């Protein structure tokens, strides 16, 4: 899905998260896609909080340095938003054409958006026609606060780039899934993207988003608990969270900390899935795909699988993307893959698709 704030052209993807900035550039091939550029730079804590940019100058410098390090020449940039400034709702509206809905969407959306309608940009996607003669159709409604869009696009412009697309992370993940995994008709799967401060849950049916939810819980909670437990820096705590070691630090009791926080994440994932299933009698989720850097947290995959009783797999957004081993070390791509789900989904955007 594309929000209508900008039009499309050839782009470089820029995923500006709370913990890091990721960039990916892809090129089309006869068989699909090949990787041209990939890079990631860490952001300091509190530069971005809950999807809102707090320290714009720091973010600008990190973006500018990352683009320079990767020698990326493309200026046109596609990015994504997440968090509580993004509202995604599946609603039932009277049957009408797409053109008719475009004209009336402001009025139709007002009852579903918890912000003044003048403060948001709105887009929609018609999910299904009326098959039961009820005179209703399912519509995915998307609204994003204008000031948040402006904050991100201003950062991108100040970094010397041209923001041509603003998307939503849930739909970027849908795009990533489509080019890497088999789409089974009428099958429901969940993509759980665990970011630094926000976990987004995206349920796809036949490869199309039918439910989303954002949870204010993410990888930083693991890191902060480890930091408190060991009285160490945020960076060292992040290293230990991902299974690394820090000289002079005894991390013997950290598995208990990680298991406790993992249990909280798993419980929230289960609650969201149960909420979805409660409104969809007879449906079930066949698999959960974990995305985001926190997906690599030791033991998290098994705990979510145990709590939900649903098979869990860590996503690899490069399964069907050609990655030259001469240019990109296979071990590196395998190691960083979970971080780049959103970036890959953004990088396949092309002129004119919708």
**Per-residue pLDDT tens digits for 65-106:** 999 999 999 999 999 988 777 888 888 888 888 888 888 888
Domain boundaries for CATH 3.30.420.40 within the chain: 1-85+147-180+320-354, 182-318
Domain 182-318: homologous superfamily in CATH: ATPase, nucleotide binding domain (3.30.420.40)
Which of 58-62, 188-192, 294-298, 322-326 is predicted least confidently? 294-298
Q: What is the pLDDT of residues 42-67, one digit of tens each?
A: 998 789 887 788 999 999 999 999 99
Instruction: Report the range out of 41-50, 126-135, 244-253 with the highest average pLDDT.
Output: 41-50
Q: Indicate the pTM of the whole model.
A: 0.89
Q: Residue 131 — pLDDT band, cuts 50, 70, 90?
A: low
Cα separation, 38 vs 66, in Å, equals 10
Q: Is the pLDDT of residue 321 over 80?
A: yes
Return the pLDDT at 82.
Answer: 84
Cα separation, 238 vs 245, in Å, equals 10
Are 136 and 130 contacting, i.e. CB atoms less than 8 angstroms apart? yes
Taking residues 300-324, report their average pLDDT. 96
Return the pLDDT at 133.
Answer: 65
Compute the mean pLDDT over every residue in the chain, rounded to the nearest whole number: 88
Ramachandran angles phi, psi of 220, nearest 5°: -65, -25
Q: What is the pLDDT of residues 166-194, one digit of tens each?
A: 999 999 999 999 999 999 999 999 999 99
Cα separation, 27 vs 37, in Å, equals 10
Domain 1-85+147-180+320-354: homologous superfamily in CATH: ATPase, nucleotide binding domain (3.30.420.40)
DSSP states along 130-184: -SSSSSEEEEEEEEEEHHHHHHHHHHHHHTT-EEEEEEEHHHHHHHHHHHHSPPP
């Amino acid at each position: 899905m594309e929000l209508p704030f900008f039009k499309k052209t050839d782009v470089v993807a820029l995923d500006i998260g709370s913990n890091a900035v990721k960039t990916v550039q892809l090129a089309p091939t006869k068989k699909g896609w090949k990787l041209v550029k990939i890079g990631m730079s860490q952001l300091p804590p509190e530069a971005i909080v809950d999807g809102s940019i707090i320290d714009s100058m720091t973010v600008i410098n990190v973006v500018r340095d990352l683009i320079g390090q990767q020698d990326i020449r493309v200026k046109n940039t596609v990015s994504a938003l997440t968090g509580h400034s993004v509202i995604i709702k599946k609603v039932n509206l009277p049957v009408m054409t797409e053109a008719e809905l475009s004209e009336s969407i402001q009025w139709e959306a007002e009852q579903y958006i918890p912000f003044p309608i003048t403060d948001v940009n709105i887009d929609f996607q018609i999910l299904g026609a009326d098959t039961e003669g009820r005179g209703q159709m399912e519509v995915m409604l998307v609204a994003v606060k204008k000031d948040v869009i402006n904050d991100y696009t201003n950062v991108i412009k100040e970094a010397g780039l041209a923001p041509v697309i603003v998307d939503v992370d849930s739909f970027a993940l849908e795009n990533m899934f489509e080019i890497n995994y088999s789409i089974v008709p009428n099958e429901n799967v969940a993509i759980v993207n665990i970011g630094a401060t926000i976990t987004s849950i995206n349920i796809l049916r036949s490869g199309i988003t039918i439910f989303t939810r954002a949870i204010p819980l993410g990888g930083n909670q693991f890191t902060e608990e480890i930091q408190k437990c060991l009285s160490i820096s945020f960076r060292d705590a992040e290293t230990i969270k991902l299974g690394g070691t820090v000289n002079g630090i005894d991390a013997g009791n950290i598995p208990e900390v990680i298991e406790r926080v993992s249990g909280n994440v798993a419980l929230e994932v289960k609650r969201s899935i149960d909420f979805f299933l409660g409104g969809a009698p007879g449906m079930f989720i066949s698999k959960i795909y974990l995305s985001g850097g926190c997906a690599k947290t030791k033991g998290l995959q098994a705990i979510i699988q145990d709590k939900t009783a649903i098979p869990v797999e860590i996503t690899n957004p490069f399964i069907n993307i050609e990655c030259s081993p001469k240019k990109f070390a296979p071990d590196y791509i395998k190691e960083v893959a979970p971080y780049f789900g959103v970036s890959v989904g953004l990088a396949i955007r092309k002129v004119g698709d919708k």
